[in-house]
């Protein structure tokens, strides 16, 4: 098959570099040399043009012509050597440009060396340019190439032309002309004499048996491979050189050395269809089981029906007739080749293959009647493989009725006693072979026999929807027989939605209400899977079907249809008077599950049959719809009279729940219909308070748009701005400020909005509120505010009044918030509280917050020696609380007063000693001022 441009599939795959497709086409007989149109390109030429060595190797292994000129033109050394190893004519096209002439023209030194090693003639004159390679090199002034052509050519050329006398001269001496000039004809370099492996390849390439024998007798290694992976033996075999092959084998050439493509000599001989060569290699112990491309030679010969090769391989008595469980016999059966089968049997290939498979089973598999007839007298007709198949079971599996009849006529057992054996009737039913089932059903003793998996022929036919097989089996099988897992054939047909099979089973007495292994009834299963026609067929038997039957979880057919959104099935079930209020074991009704999975059409269909405002599971239908954020279902419920004031178990109205979830769309639906949009929920919260606290700006805007009051406060006096600031919702806080919220308002414990923002570390909210609040304002609280926590009660500091925002930020070590406050131009960084006289630095040192300390010390107005009411400096406080890192930071990054004393006369050193902080005391004593003070006190 070719297209208009003459492109075959093989050429197309080669051109695109699709190696696996090329391999597949070659395996199926694609012609490697086919060129349909005069100007079309051969596959090998295309591969060579791309420089694709792997594809070139594939093509050459299947007999492709060479494309040496292209490889030379591309300068592709590996490809050129591969082509030469596959017998490319080294002096091809003498009428135009020879490969060597092309290489000289392109000044490709390595290519020239390669061609000379394979016997290229440097003196061959091309008719196209009237020059030899040597003459062209001289004409172009390529002195180096001239020397190369003169040095390397003579010996290889002499071998190629079998001039033995000249070979001897060249191997043993160098002739020098008068005046010191080398004679052109006989000159040989040292490299020539030592490169005996290349000489051996040249001898093989030119079939110079005598010279090859001489080289081998002198110890040349016949097993050295070329760059392309070819050994001399593989090259000789590939070129059908029988005598050369014999010489190499006598010299102990290794028969198992492959080339880079994995080809060994025996495969090359097979590829050339050379029986004599194959026999010779086998005589020298070539391995007949060597594999190539995943298969053995024996298997390939069987597939290709090459009987002489099969007989030759079998006669070696060393061939493995079974590879990976697929024997050559199997391929003979594929092609119905009785002659091949006879040959195999004659040589003893009649044993059981891998996994206990017999030859009779293979013949039955492929429906090869004549082969089955031939094998029956030689085989055990009832032998069983490891997976439980007999020959008749195999034939039944593949639907070969004639073979089944033949085997039964010769005693094949249709009712095997082994529980693991495959039941022929069941396997034929599984695969849908109606004619085989029809033949077997009247001949087996137990149509309802289960296999090792616990299912029957009827069940498998129903599962795989083989209508004719079910029709045949229904007349004799028990249609209500449950499998080992409890499922029935009718349940299986309902699961798969086969209306015809359901109808057949019901007509033959199948129980419509019989439960499966999980308690599911046929109607429940069909409704769940959405098989509308099956549901209608089951509902036709109004007197038999239980429309409200449940499974183990209490789910009815209506529940399952509602859950999976099968509206038409719901409508059919309602028409059949299905009960809408039947709840599952967890108390869920069909309409509840429809809301949960948001099937609005089902909800609308079921609503006329339910009480819309009846409490369910601690909620109402409207609450459930809001919880799922289903705008459509909320709309349907509101339109059908849902109570907008009803409360759930947590006391939330639908409006409050929607605000909590932040659903602006639902709020737009509910707000116009509620009686009081500012109705109090809990602790003085309204729907708007809830939306603000949860940070749902869209919900806040929706409620305000519908008239919600911005002035509401909670029972403890929290304004909306308090709530937004406490939770850190900057966008909501900004919205409230734009609408006039009072940033200075305090709650009942004295807290301002910015106080809560600072306490919780919401720096972005602090930055937003700071322009609306005094940064140095004195805070007050009705409750103690712990600014320094400590396990020792005397060291724990609580404040209720007089503390600043900076005090709070430092005590909680909110670094970003501190940075915002420190950036305020009017900040008093040294502000002290009136109770203890603590500055922010004192608190940082008492709490051990190193980062906070360093940030404060970076402030230009921070006083490192500020005193509290007890006369303590920050350094003394750090020593008292035992924070060594703080002490180290103070001593290294600032100039604290090292010997300052408190009102009761305690220095930093004395404080550290008094509280048992030895590490800090040891650090302080290293300070000169401290050491002097200690010495003075000692005197």
Render 310-376 in DSSP notation, one character per residue. HHHHHHTT----EETTEEHHHHHHHTT-HHHHHHHHHTT--S--GGG--HHHHHHHTT-HHHHHHHG
Confidence (pLDDT) at 123: 79
Task: Give the span between the Cα atoms of 719 and 703, in whole angstroms.
Answer: 16
- Count of alpha carbons within 13 angstroms of residue 533, beta-carbon side: 9
pLDDT of residue 187: 31
Q: Which two tokens stand for residue 590?
A: 């069909």
| H helices, E strands: number in the chain | 57, 6
pLDDT at 571 exceeding the cut of 50: yes
Higher-pLDDT residue of 204, 699: 699
Contacts of 922 (CB under 8 A, 6+ apart): none
Rounded Cα distance, 759 and 804, in Å: 11
For the chain, the average pLDDT equals 85
- The CA-atom distances, in angstroms, between 332 and each of 129, 328, 357, 514 are 57, 6, 15, 50
Structural Rg of the chain based on CA atoms? 49
What mean pLDDT is predicted for residues 330-356? 76
In angstroms, rounded to a whole number, what is the distance separating the alpha carbons of residues 4 and 891? Answer: 92
Residue whose pair of structure tokens reads 């095997």 in the numeric block = 416
**What does DSSP assign to residue 585?**
T
Residue ranges of domains in the chain, CATH in brackets: 1-65 (1.25.40.20), 93-189 (1.25.40), 774-938 (1.25.40.20)
Task: Indicate whether 141 pLDDT > 80.
Answer: yes
Dump pLDDT digits (tens) for 809-818.
998 999 999 9
| Amino acid 56: pLDDT | 78
Q: What is the pLDDT of residues 703-712, one digit of tens each?
A: 999 999 999 9
With CA atoms as reference, report the closest residue to 50 among 37, 67, 65, 38.
67
Lowest mean pLDDT among 445-459, 844-858, 901-915: 445-459
Highest mean pLDDT pick, 42-46, 59-63, 810-814? 810-814
Sign of CA dihedral 410, 412, 413, 418: positive
Instruction: Give pLDDT, residue 461.
Output: 95
To 10 degrees, the CA torsion angle through 730, 736, 740, 741? -80
Rounded to the nearest angstrom, the gap between the alpha carbon of residue 921 and the centroid of all alpha carbons in its chain is 62
Q: Which residue has the higher pLDDT, 166 or 705?
A: 705
E-strand spans in 546-616? none
User: Looking at the predicted structure, is the pLDDT value of residue 158 above 60?
Assistant: no
CA dihedral for 699, 705, 710, 716, sign (positive or negative): negative
Averaged pLDDT for residues 162-185 = 41
Tokens read off for 506:
């019901």
Q: Which helix (DSSP H) or strand (DSSP E) does residue 646 occupy?
A: none
Q: Are 44 and 10 in contact (CB under 8 A)?
A: no
Give the whole-number percent of the chain exceeding pLDDT 90.
Answer: 51
DSSP letters, 195-227, are -HHHHHHHHHHTT-HHHHHHHHHTT--TT---T
The reported pLDDT for the residue numbered 171 is 46
Select the highest-mean-pLDDT range: 32-36, 204-208, 251-255: 251-255
Interval 98-102 mean pLDDT: 89
619, β-bridge pairs = 616
Tokens of 408: 């039964």
Q: Residue 326's beta-bridge partner residues?
A: 323
Rounded mean pLDDT, 582-598 = 94
Torsions phi, psi of 182, nearest 5?
A: -80, 140
Strand pairing category for 291-292 and 295-296: antiparallel
- Number of residues that make up the chain: 939
Q: For residue 235, which of 251, 253, 211, 250 has the smallest C-alpha distance?
A: 253
- pLDDT above 70 (res 871): yes
What is the per-residue pLDDT for 176?
A: 36
The DSSP line for 856-900 is HHTSTT--TT---TT---HHHHHHHHT-HHHHHHHHHHS---TT-
| pLDDT of 924 strictly over 80 | yes
Residue, of 566 and 131, whose pLDDT is higher: 566
Cβ–Cβ < 8 Å for 112, 103: yes
Q: What is the mean pLDDT of residues 468-485?
A: 91
Neighbours of 854 (CB within 10 A): 15
733-776 tens-digit pLDDT: 999 999 999 999 999 988 899 999 999 999 999 999 999 999 99
Encoding tokens for residue 847? Answer: 């709490």
Using an 8 Å Cβ cutoff, are 375 and 363 in contact?
yes
Please state the rounded mean pLDDT for residues 431-456.
Answer: 90
pLDDT of residue 324: 43
Give the whole-angstrom CA distance, residue 513 versus residue 491: 9
Q: pLDDT class for 869, splitting at 50, 70, 90?
A: very high
**If phi over 0 gives left and psi between -120 and 50 gives alpha, with beta otherwise, what is residue 356?**
left
Q: 324: which 2 tokens? A: 């990976």
pLDDT on residue 563: 95
- Residue 341: pLDDT over 80: yes
CA dihedral angle for residue 872, residue 873, residue 877, residue 883, rounded to 10 degrees? -160
pLDDT value at residue 197: 66
Beta strands, E only, 204-302: 291-292, 295-296
Q: How confident is the model at residue 196 (pLDDT cuts 50, 70, 90)?
A: low
Is the Cβ–Cβ distance between 903 and 868 less than 8 Å? no
* pLDDT over 60 (residue 4): no
């Amino acid at each position: 098959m070719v297209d208009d441009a003459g492109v075959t599939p093989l050429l197309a795959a080669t051109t695109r570099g699709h190696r696996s497709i090329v391999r597949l086409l070659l395996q199926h007989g694609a012609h490697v040399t086919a060129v349909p149109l005069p100007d079309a390109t051969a596959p090998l030429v295309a591969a060579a043009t791309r420089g694709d060595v792997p594809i070139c190797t594939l093509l050459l292994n299947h007999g492709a012509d060479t494309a040496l000129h292209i490889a030379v033109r591309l300068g592709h050394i590996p490809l050129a050597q591969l082509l030469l190893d596959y017998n490319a004519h080294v002096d091809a096209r003498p009428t135009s440009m020879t490969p060597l002439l092309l290489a000289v023209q392109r000044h490709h030194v390595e290519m020239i060396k390669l061609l000379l090693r394979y016997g290229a003639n440097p003196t061959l004159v091309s008719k196209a340019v009237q020059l030899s390679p040597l003459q062209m090199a001289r004409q172009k002034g390529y002195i180096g190439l001239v020397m190369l052509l003169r040095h390397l050519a003579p010996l290889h050329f002499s071998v190629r032309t079998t001039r033995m006398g000249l070979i001897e001269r060249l191997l043993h001496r160098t002739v020098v002309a008068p005046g010191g000039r080398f004679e052109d004809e006989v000159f040989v370099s040292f490299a020539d004499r030592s490169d005996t492996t290349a000489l051996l390849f040249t001898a093989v390439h030119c079939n110079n048996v005598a010279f090859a024998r001489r080289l081998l007798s002198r110890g040349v290694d016949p097993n050295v491979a070329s760059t392309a992976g070819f050994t001399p033996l593989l090259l000789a075999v590939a070129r059908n050189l029988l005598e050369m092959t014999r010489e190499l084998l006598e010299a102990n050439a290794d028969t198992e050395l492959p080339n880079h493509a994995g080809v060994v000599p025996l495969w090359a001989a097979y590829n050339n269809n050379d029986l004599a060569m194959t026999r010779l290699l086998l005589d020298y112990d070539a391995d007949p089981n060597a594999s190539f491309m995943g298969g053995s030679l024996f298997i390939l010969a069987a597939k290709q029906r090459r009987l002489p090769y099969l007989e030759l391989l079998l006669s070696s008595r060393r061939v493995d007739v079974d590879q990976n469980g697929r024997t050559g016999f199997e391929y003979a059966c594929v092609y119905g080749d009785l002659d091949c089968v006879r040959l195999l049997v004659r040589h003893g290939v009649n044993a059981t293959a891998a996994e206990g498979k017999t030859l009779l089973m293979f013949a039955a598999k492929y429906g090869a009647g004549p082969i089955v007839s031939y094998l029956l007298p030689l085989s055990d007709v009832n032998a069983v493989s490891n997976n439980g198949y007999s020959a008749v079971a195999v034939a039944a599996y593949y639907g070969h009725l004639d073979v089944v009849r033949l085997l039964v006529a010769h005693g094949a057992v249709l009712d095997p006693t082994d529980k693991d054996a495959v039941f022929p009737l069941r396997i034929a039913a599984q695969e849908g072979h109606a004619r085989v089932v029809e033949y077997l059903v009247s001949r087996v003793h137990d149509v309802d026999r289960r296999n090792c998996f616990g299912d029957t022929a009827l069940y498998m036919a129903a599962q795989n929807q083989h209508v004719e097989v079910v029709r045949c089996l229904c007349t004799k099988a028990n249609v209500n027989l449950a499998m080992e897992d409890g499922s029935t054939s009718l349940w299986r047909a309902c699961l798969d939605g086969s209306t015809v099979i359901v109808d057949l089973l019901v007509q033959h007495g199948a129980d419509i209400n019989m439960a499966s292994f999980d308690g599911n009834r046929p109607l429940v299963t069909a409704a769940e899977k959405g098989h509308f026609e099956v549901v209608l067929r089951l509902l036709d038997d109004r007197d038999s079907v239980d429309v409200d039957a449940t499974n183990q979880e209490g789910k009815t057919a209506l529940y399952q249809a509602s859950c999976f959104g099968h509206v038409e099935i719901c409508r059919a079930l309602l028409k059949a008077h299905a009960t809408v209020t039947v709840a599952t074991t967890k108390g869920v009704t069909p309409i509840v599950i429809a809301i949960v999975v948001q099937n609005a059409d089902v909800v609308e269909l079921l609503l006329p049959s339910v009480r819309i405002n009846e409490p369910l599971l601690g909620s109402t239908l409207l609450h459930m719809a809001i919880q799922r954020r289903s705008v459509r279902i909320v709309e349907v419920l509101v339109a059908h009279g849902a109570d907008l004031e009803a409360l759930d178990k947590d006391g939330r109205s639908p409006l409050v729940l929607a605000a909590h979830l932040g659903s602006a769309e639902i709020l737009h639906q509910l707000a116009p219909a509620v009686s009081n949009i500012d109705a109090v929920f809990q602790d003085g919260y309204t729907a708007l308070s809830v939306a603000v606290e949860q940070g749902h700006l869209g919900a806040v805007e929706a409620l305000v748009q519908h008239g919600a009051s911005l002035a509401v406060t909670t029972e403890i006096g929290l304004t909306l701005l308090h709530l937004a600031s406490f939770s850190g919702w900057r966008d909501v806080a900004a919205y409230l400020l734009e609408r006039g919220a009072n940033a200075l308002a305090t709650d009942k414990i004295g807290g301002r909005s910015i106080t809560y923002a600072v306490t919780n570390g919401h720096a972005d909210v602090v930055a937003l509120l700071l322009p609306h609040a005094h940064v140095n304002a004195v805070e007050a609280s009705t409750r103690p505010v712990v600014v320094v926590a400590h396990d020792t009660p005397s060291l724990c500091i609580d404040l209720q009044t007089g503390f600043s925002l900076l005090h709070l930020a430092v005590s909680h070590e909110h670094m970003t918030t501190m940075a915002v406050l420190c950036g305020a131009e009017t900040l008093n960084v040294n502000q002290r509280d009136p109770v203890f006289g603590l500055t922010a630095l004192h608190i940082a040192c008492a709490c051990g917050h190193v980062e906070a300390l360093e940030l404060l010390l970076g402030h230009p107005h921070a006083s490192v020696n500020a005193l509290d009411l007890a006369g303590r400096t920050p350094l003394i406080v750090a020593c008292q609380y035992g924070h060594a890192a703080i002490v180290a930071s103070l001593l290294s990054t600032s100039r604290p007063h090292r010997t300052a004393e408190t009102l009761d006369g305690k220095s930093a050193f004395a404080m550290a000693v008094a509280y048992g902080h030895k590490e800090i005391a040891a650090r302080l004593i290293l300070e000169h001022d401290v050491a002097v003070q200690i010495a003075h006190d000692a005197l």
